Amino acid sequence: MRESIIVKAPAKINLTLDVTGKRNDGYHEVEMIMTTIDLSDRIGLISLEEDKINIDVNQGFIPSNENNLAYQAAKVIKDYTGSKKGVSVFIDKQIPVSAGLAGGSTDAAAVLRGLNELWNLGLTLEELAELGLKIGSDVPFCVHGGTAVARGRGEKLEFLPAPPPCWVVLVKPPMSVSTKDIYSRIDLNNMKHPDTPGMINAINQGAFPDVCQKLENVMEEVTFNMHPQVAKIKQRMLQFGADGSVMSGSGPTVFGLTQSEARAERLYHGLKGFMEEVYVVRILGTKHG
């Protein structure tokens, strides 16, 4: 039997993000289109005989106790299956933290997928996604990966084909935003909603210009008001030649799309001139195994 495994945990971006209401349980009702990108944490899992969960992260400011979502994932799957095995989880963090890229959620999802394989648990991705929802609203999507419309709290998934291949240029400004804070400032009665059916159509047709045109996120206005610097990044992204640009999740990461490698390079160098954290990656967009 295998004793260790390495799992890739890709970040997600939001092509659209809409908030359609507030529920009685305190959560917001969302409708958002997410896709995975080739910017990934690497999660190493080593099975232990002793019944314990160790977390080791290569970044000091991320918790290595039960507050780490990877820890919670190991705990949830152990409780569900009654396994008395232990695990050491090593997180090689490459995804910016508190950035709107679901870094913690994708680590949790990778632990669920990885332990399922390492311990031969035989759970389906659907079961893992259900377990993931106990940890966070984005975890079910991260369990499956790919491209999907997420509704409800984010757990009702309708899968779509991968978007047209393109470069994704991301800028993470040096600040973090609290998702909770952004949600609390959204004015549900006075907002312009994204054209979600239009984006679904654009993805189904593989129409890159339409995908770029339909990028929209209702949280932008709130985050831009609080941090005008983030709005400026989007402005520059478009000035430097991105075919479309939008903020991901509650931010503050802003990304731009282009199909031209030369333009992606130009964007990288232009943005690097005034921002420390700039990444150029590809869309992945297809589901895990």
Contacts with ligand ATP by CB under 6 A lie at 62-63, 67-70, 91, 97-105, 107, 138, 179, 249-250
In the complex with ligand ATP, the residue whose CB is nearer, 98 or 240, is: 98
Minimum separation from the CB atom of position 286 to ligand ATP (A): 20
Q: Is 195 a catalytic residue?
A: no
In the complex with ligand ATP, the residue whose CB is nearer, 91 or 280, is: 91
Minimum separation from the CB atom of position 273 to ligand ATP (A): 25
In the complex with ligand ATP, the residue whose CB is nearer, 70 or 271, is: 70
Minimum separation from the CB atom of position 266 to ligand ATP (A): 27
Q: Is 8 a catalytic residue?
A: no
In the complex with ligand ATP, the residue whose CB is nearer, 84 or 180, is: 180
3-class DSSP string for the chain? CCCEEEEEEEEEEEEEEEEEEECCCCCEEEEEEEEEEEEEEEEEEEEECCCCEEEEECCCCCCCCCCCHHHHHHHHHHHHHCCCCEEEEEEECCCCCCCCCCHHHHHHHHHHHHHHHHCCCCCCHHHHHHHHHCCCCCHHHHHHECEEEEEECCCEEEEECCCCCCEEEEEECCCCCCHHHHHHHCCCCCCCCCCHHHHHHHHHHCCHHHHHHHCEECCHHHHHHHCHHHHHHHHHHHHCCCCEEEECCCCCCEEEEECCHHHHHHHHHHHHCCCCEEEEEEECCCECC
Q: Active-site residue among 41, 107, 138, 243?
A: 138
In the complex with ligand ATP, the residue whose CB is nearer, 33 or 62, is: 62
Name the residue whose CB lies closest to ligand ATP. Answer: 104
Looking at the annotation, which residues are catalytic? 12, 138
